[in-house]
């Protein structure tokens, strides 16, 4: 099949591919699931996912390597996070085996849409778990859909490896202290639309949220975790029960220490101590590593390395991570799963 896709200039947009995976949970168990060409879900108007947000999602990518093969980056971690989110929302878990098998099926079925090596683009996979059925009281569904669809994507933030600026929200929080911030649930993102829109209209890439209890510590970016680099060769990233445990962040903590010889630290990051960072960035599956040029906090724009150039440590971290993801650099044990 030929595709007329401009791989180098893809943004982060929905693109309807031929195949997706769907599995139904009924009578206490998942069916074996199958690929389908039907891209529209038909669900009850009273589905708990629609009314009470009983839904969860994930995001991971398939990468085309130099030899033309396709690989996944730590899909077991996405499966585990979806299981943790399912537990938090009283949804049935999807086993790691079913999750990875479904991801592979979707990638293989849409193989022509996995971008060529060297374009920087990837196939983004979106697993989705929703509570469905005829229920109107606030209680968990008895039936569920687990689906995975995919699309080729490029950069999430416009700059790519060029730094962009972010703004601290003083007015809105992303999550409650003991709420669902650590779970990948749609409600966290619905609440971020309003502050995100204001930030983007003012020319910033996204919002940086503070801890909801004290508004003194950096939590994370709207759709990515935060990290900072100090002059003492430290990689520091916030520790909080209300941020999403980013797979990219945990990978970077390990790579910073093992491959770059840095001291990797998860700890409180006080918003009034940004001076200690010589570089900063946002990290995530979609964001990859997006350098942060400056952070607007109150009436001051705090610039880290530069508003126009990526810093040297951020660049090294990026090269190591992306090199592993595309198969150019040897990965730590168990990080890469081949789609064969
Ligand atoms: C709020 C939020 N934080 C962090 C991340 C990064 O997580 P990961 O590295 O697992 O993609 C994401 C994206 O998934 C996110 O939406």
pLDDT tens digits, 216-230:
999 999 999 999 999
Strands 288-297 and 164-168: parallel
All residues at 6 or more sequence positions from 230 whose CB lies less than 8 Å from its CB, including other chains? 236, 276, 277, 278
Average pLDDT, the chain: 96
For 156-205, the pLDDT digits (tens) are 887 789 999 999 999 999 999 999 999 999 999 999 999 999 999 999 99
Ligand 1 pocket check for 206: Cβ under 6 Å: no
Which atom of ligand 1 approaches the CA of 251 most closely?
9
For 103-114, the pLDDT digits (tens) are 999 999 999 999
Give pLDDT, residue 277.
98
Distance (angstroms) between ligand 1 centre and the Cα of 137 equals: 31
Q: What are the residues facing 335 on neighbouring strands?
A: none
Give pLDDT, residue 279.
98
Ligand 1 pocket check for 225: Cβ under 6 Å: yes
- Minimum mean pLDDT among 9-13, 80-84, 251-255: which range? 9-13
Q: For the chain, give the number of residues.
A: 340
For 281-316, the pLDDT digits (tens) are 999 999 999 999 999 999 999 999 999 999 999 999
Confidence class for position 130, pLDDT limits 50, 70, 90: very high
Give pLDDT, residue 53.
98
The protein residue whose alpha carbon is closest to atom 7 in ligand 1 is 246
Phi, psi of 227 (to 5 degrees): -140, 155
Ligand 1 pocket check for 247: Cβ under 6 Å: yes
Give pLDDT, residue 157.
82
Give pLDDT, residue 327.
98
Give pLDDT, residue 3.
57
Query: Probe ligand 1: pick from 73, 223, 238, 290, max atoms within 8 Å of CB?
Result: 223
Report the C-alpha gap between 47 and 57 in whole angstroms. Answer: 16
Which atom of ligand 1 approaches the CA of 222 most closely?
1
Give pLDDT, residue 160.
80
Give pLDDT, residue 139.
97
Give pLDDT, residue 150.
98
DSSP 3-state of 200: helix
Task: Determine what percent of the chain is predicted with pLDDT higher than 90.
Answer: 96
Give pLDDT, residue 71.
98
Which atom of ligand 1 approaches the CA of 58 most closely?
14
CA-wise closest residue to 100 among 86, 83, 112: 83
Q: Provide the greatest CA pair distance for the chain.
A: 58
CA-wise closest residue to 185 among 31, 327, 323, 57: 57
CA-wise closest residue to 92 among 169, 167, 20, 30: 30
Mean pLDDT of 21-30: 98
8 A C-beta contact, residue 176 and residue 183: no
8 A C-beta contact, residue 281 and residue 269: no
Q: In terms of pTM, does the model score above 0.85?
A: yes
Could you tell me the two tokens for 229? 């680099």
Asked if 184 is an active-site residue, the reply is: yes
Q: Provide the 8-state DSSP code for 161.
A: T
Ligand 1 pocket check for 246: Cβ under 6 Å: yes
Q: Is the dihedral of CA 185, 187, 193, 195 positive or negative?
A: negative
Task: Determine what percent of the chain is predicted with pLDDT higher than 70.
Answer: 99
Report the C-alpha gap between 196 and 207 in whole angstroms. Answer: 6
Distance (angstroms) between ligand 1 centre and the Cα of 284 equals: 5
Does the structure show a pLDDT above 70 at 2?
A: no
Distance (angstroms) between ligand 1 centre and the Cα of 309 equals: 24
Ligand 1 pocket check for 224: Cβ under 6 Å: yes
Confidence class for position 4, pLDDT limits 50, 70, 90: confident
Does the structure show a pLDDT above 90 at 138?
A: yes
User: Position of tokens 């040029």?
Assistant: 293
Q: What is the dihedral of CA 303, 304, 308, 313, to 10 degrees?
A: -170
């Amino acid at each position: 099949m030929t595709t007329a896709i401009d791989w180098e200039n893809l943004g982060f947009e929905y693109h309807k591919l031929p195949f997706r995976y769907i599995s139904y949970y009924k009578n206490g168990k998942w069916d074996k699931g199958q690929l389908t060409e039907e891209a529209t879900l038909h669900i009850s108007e009273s589905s708990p996912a629609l009314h009470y947000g009983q839904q969860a999602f994930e995001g991971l990518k398939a990468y085309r390597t130099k030899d033309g093969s396709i690989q996944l980056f730590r899909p077991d971690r996405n499966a585990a996070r979806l299981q943790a989110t399912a537990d938090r929302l009283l949804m049935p878990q999807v086993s790691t085996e079913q999750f990875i098998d479904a991801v592979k099926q979707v990638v293989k079925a849409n193989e022509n849409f996995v971008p060529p090596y060297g374009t920087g683009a990837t196939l983004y996979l979106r697993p989705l778990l929703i509570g469905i059925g005829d229920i109107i009281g606030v209680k968990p569904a008895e039936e569920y859909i687990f689906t995975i669809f995919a699309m080729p994507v490029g950069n999430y933030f416009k700059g790519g490896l060029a730094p962009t600026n972010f703004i601290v929200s003083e007015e809105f929080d992303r999550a409650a202290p003991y709420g669902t911030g650590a779970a990948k649930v749609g409600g966290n993102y619905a609440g971020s639309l309003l502050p995100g829109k204001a930030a983007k209209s003012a020319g910033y890439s996204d919002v940086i949220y503070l801890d909801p209890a004290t508004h003194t510590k950096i939590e994370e970016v709207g759709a990515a975790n935060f990290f900072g680099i100090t002059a003492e060769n430290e990689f520091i990233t916030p520790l909080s029960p209300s941020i999403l445990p980013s797979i990219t962040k945990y990978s970077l903590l390990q790579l910073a220490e093992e491959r770059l010889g840095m001291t990797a630290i998860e700890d409180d990051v006080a918003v009034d101590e940004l001076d200690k960072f010589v570089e900063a960035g946002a990290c995530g599956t979609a964001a990859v590593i997006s350098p942060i040029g400056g952070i607007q906090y109150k009436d001051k724009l705090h610039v880290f390395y530069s508003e126009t150039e990526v810093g040297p440590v951020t660049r090294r971290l990026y090269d190591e991570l992306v090199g592993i993801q595309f198969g150019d650099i040897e990965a730590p044990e168990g990080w890469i799963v081949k789609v064969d």
